[in-house]
Structure 1
Amino acid sequence: MNAAEPLKASDLERFCDYLYQRTGMTYGESKRYYIERRVADRMRATGEARFGDYFARLRSEPAELEAMINAFTVNETYFYREDHQLRCLSRSILPAVAATKGPGDKIRIWSLPCSTGEEPYSIAIWLLENWPMVDAYNVEIVGSDIDTEALEAARAGRYGERALSRLPADVVDRYFEQAGEGDREIISDLKESVLFSPANLIEGSTLSGHGQFEVIFCRNVLIYFDDAARARAIDNLFTALKPGGYICLGHTESMSRITDRFRACRFPDAVVYQRPEAPS
Structure 2
Amino acid sequence: MGHPQVSDDDFERFRDYFHRETGIHFDASKRYFVDKRLVERVRETSSGSAKAYLARLSQGGAATELQQLINAMTVNETYFLREEYQFEALVDSVLPDIVARRRHRRPIRIWCVPSSTGEEPYSVAIYLLERWPALADWDVEILSSDIDTAVLERARAGRYSARSVQHLPRAWLARYFVPRGDEYQLSSEIRDSVSFTRCNLTAPGETRAFRDIDVIFCRNLLIYFDDRSRRIAADALYDALTPGGFVLLGHSESMGRISSLFSPRRLPRAIVHQRPGDAA
> 1:104: how far off?
5.1
For 1:173-184, list aligned pairs within 5 A: 173-180=174-181, 182-184=182-184
Superposed CA deviations along residues 49-74 of structure 1, whole A, max 9, x for unmatched, are 13233113323211100000111111
2:217 and 2:76 mapped to 1: Cα distance?
15
2:21 equivalent to 1:22: yes
Does the 8 Å CA contact 1:57/1:64 hold for their aligned counterparts?
Answer: no
State the partner residue of 1:109: 110
Residue type of the partner of 1:72? M
Q: TM-score, normalised by structure 1?
A: 0.94
1:152 and 1:7 mapped to 2: Cα distance?
30
1:78 and 1:16 mapped to 2: Cα distance?
29
State the partner residue of 1:273: 273
1:8 and 1:119 mapped to 2: Cα distance?
38
State the partner residue of 1:206: 206
Does the 8 Å CA contact 2:245/2:274 hold for their aligned counterparts?
Answer: yes
Residue type of the partner of 1:91? D
SS in 1 for 2:88: helix
> 1:103: how far off?
8.0
SS in 2 for 1:162: coil
Superposed CA deviations along residues 19-64 of structure 1, whole A, max 9, x for unmatched, are 0111121124433222111111111111111323311332321110
State the partner residue of 1:131: 132
Change (3 A) 1:234 1:2: farther
2:71 and 2:242 mapped to 1: Cα distance?
30
State the partner residue of 1:32: 31
Q: TM-score, normalised by structure 2?
A: 0.94
User: CA RMSD, aligned part only?
Assistant: 1.7
Residue type of the partner of 2:45? T
Residue type of the partner of 1:30? S
SS in 2 for 1:164: coil
> 1:250: how far off?
0.2
1:222 and 1:95 mapped to 2: Cα distance?
27
State the partner residue of 2:101: 100
1:102 and 1:263 mapped to 2: Cα distance?
22
Q: 183-192 vs 55-64, which deviates more?
A: 55-64
Change (3 A) 1:16 1:52: same
State the partner residue of 1:150: 151
2:47 equivalent to 1:48: yes
> 1:263: how far off?
0.5
SS in 1 for 2:163: helix
2:192 equivalent to 1:192: yes
2:260 and 2:67 mapped to 1: Cα distance?
33
State the partner residue of 1:85: 86
> 1:8: how far off?
2.4
Change (3 A) 1:205 1:88: same
Number of equivalences = 277
Change (3 A) 1:2 1:226: farther
Q: Which runs of 5+ in 1 are unaligned?
A: none
Does the 8 Å CA contact 2:5/2:39 hold for their aligned counterparts?
Answer: no
For 1:186-265, list aligned pairs within 5 A: 186-265=186-265
Identity percentage over the alignment?
46
Residue type of the partner of 1:230? R
1:91 and 1:41 mapped to 2: Cα distance?
46
Does the 8 Å CA contact 1:103/1:136 hold for their aligned counterparts?
Answer: no
Does the 8 Å CA contact 2:242/2:275 hold for their aligned counterparts?
Answer: yes
Superposed CA deviations along residues 55-107 of structure 1, whole A, max 9, x for unmatched, are 13323211100000111111011000111110110011101111233685300
2:104 and 2:32 mapped to 1: Cα distance?
55
